[in-house]
Amino acid sequence: MTRHRLVLLRQILAGLEAQGWHRVTSRDLARWAGTTPDTIRKDLSGSGPGAPGAAYEVQELKQRLNQLCPVPPARKTVLVGLGELGLALAENWAFLAGFDGRPNRLETVELPFPLFPTTEIVPVCLRMGIETAVLALGPLEAQKVAERLIQGGVKELINYSPAVLRVDRNRVAVSEFGGCE
């Protein structure tokens, strides 16, 4: 699970850097990654030196994580969930589309890709040939959304929700690390 968290942290750091952040604490990173500050510090201990009780330099830490976890090749990927975590991921991942179950959220968020209600997951994914979906939503929605994504032809789910997905893992690859320690 550490590698998955490091990839998530790299994405969060890129979003923070784009927003002008210079320093960030393990407590902040833990909140956004859905884990504990101790887990973050342990994960980051392999990326280089750090000072206990001190904040991390965003740019430096991002560079160290880029060396540990190279950026994966681009795939046809969508984002489901436009909450705080979803928006942080949207800053640094090349999504083709986004989905959210709250119509007012779709109207208030501006992102560089089209946004759709979750009721349109199947036709949009089929039309766009989506291969991968990132789930950044609550545990009560995750299972239903995962089933829709699979119906839409998605072959890989990256699950940041705290729910463990019950899907046929012979048909779809699943990376689960939301809320895991």
Which CATH number belongs to the domain containing residue 97 in this structure? 3.40.50.720
Residues 63 and 81 in one domain: no
Name the domain count of the chain: 2
Does residue 100 form part of some domain? yes
Q: What pTM was estimated for this model as a whole?
A: 0.62
Q: Domain boundary residue among 68, 90, 116?
A: 68
Are residues 82 and 161 part of one domain?
A: yes
Sign of CA dihedral 6, 9, 15, 19: negative
**Closest among 173, 147, 163 to 34, alpha carbons compared:** 163
Question: Could you give the CA distance from residue 126 to residue 45 in angstroms, rounded to a whole number?
Answer: 42
Q: Same domain, yes or no, for 49 and 129?
A: no
Q: Which of 33, 68, 103 is the last residue of a domain?
A: 68
Q: Structural domain of residue 43, as residue ranges?
A: 2-68
For residue 142, the model assigns a pLDDT of 93
58: in domain:
yes
Residue 48 above 70 pLDDT? Answer: no
110 and 148 in a single domain? The answer is yes
Q: Determine the average pLDDT of the residues in 13-33.
A: 86
Do residues 124 and 142 share a domain? yes
State whether 58 and 93 are in the same domain: no
pLDDT per residue as tens digits for the range 119-134: 999 999 999 999 999 9
**Is the separation of the CB atoms in 96 and 76 below 8 Å?**
yes
CA 38 to chain centre: 20
What CATH number did the domain enclosing 13 receive? Answer: 1.10.10.10
Q: Which of 1-15, 48-62, 127-141 has the highest average model confidence (pLDDT)?
A: 127-141
Answer yes or no: do 159 and 96 share one domain. yes
Domain contains 181: no
* 146-150 average pLDDT score: 97
| Same-domain pairing of 114 and 140 | yes
Q: Which residues, listed in sequence order, are joined to residue 156 by a DSSP beta bridge?
A: 132, 173
Report the pLDDT averaged over residues 94-101: 93
Mean pLDDT of all residues in 87-109 = 88
